[in-house]
Amino acid sequence: MKNNIRLYRAKFKLTQDDLSKKLDVSRQTINAIENNKYYPSLELGLKLSQIFECKVDDLFSLD
C-alpha cells in the first residue's frame, strides 16, 4: 500500500508535528505512516481524509 500523505501535508503546509497534534498521535507515527512502515487504522485514515478534505482513496492506494 502506498500513500500521498507527504504530498497532502506539503499542500496544506503542515509539518509532521502539526499533523500529529491534530490527530493526537506522535510525530514518529506520522513519519512511519509516510514511509510505509506502519499502515494506519481505518479511523486514523478517515481523520486524515477529513483534515486533508479529500477521500481516503486519494490518500491511500494499493500497489
Partner 1 sequence: MSYLFDHKFKNPSSWVFYLTIPVALYFLFTDQFDNIMKIQVFSLFPSDILVSTTETESIIDNRGFIWIENGILDEILTIVIIVSGILSSFSKEKVEDEMISSIRMKSLVLSLYINYGMLILSNLFIYEMAYFYAMVIHLFTILLFFNLIFNFRLYKHYNS
Region binding partner 1 by CB under 8 A among candidate stretches 3-11, 27-35, 52-60:
27-35
Q: Which residue among 6, 18, 22, 31 contacts partner 1 (CB under 8 A)?
A: 31
The dihedral through the CA atoms of 49, 30, 19, 9 has a sign that is: negative
Nearest approach, Cβ of 40 to partner 1 (angstroms)? 7
Establish if 36 lies at the interface with partner 1 (CB under 8 A).
no
- Interatomic CA distance for residues 37 and 55, integer angstroms: 22
- Interatomic CA distance for residues 63 and 51, integer angstroms: 24
Please give the backbone phi and psi of residue 60, each rounded to the nearest 5 degrees, phi first.
Answer: -125, 140
Contact positions vs partner 1 (CB under 8 A)? 20, 24-26, 28-29, 31-32, 37-38, 40-41, 43-44
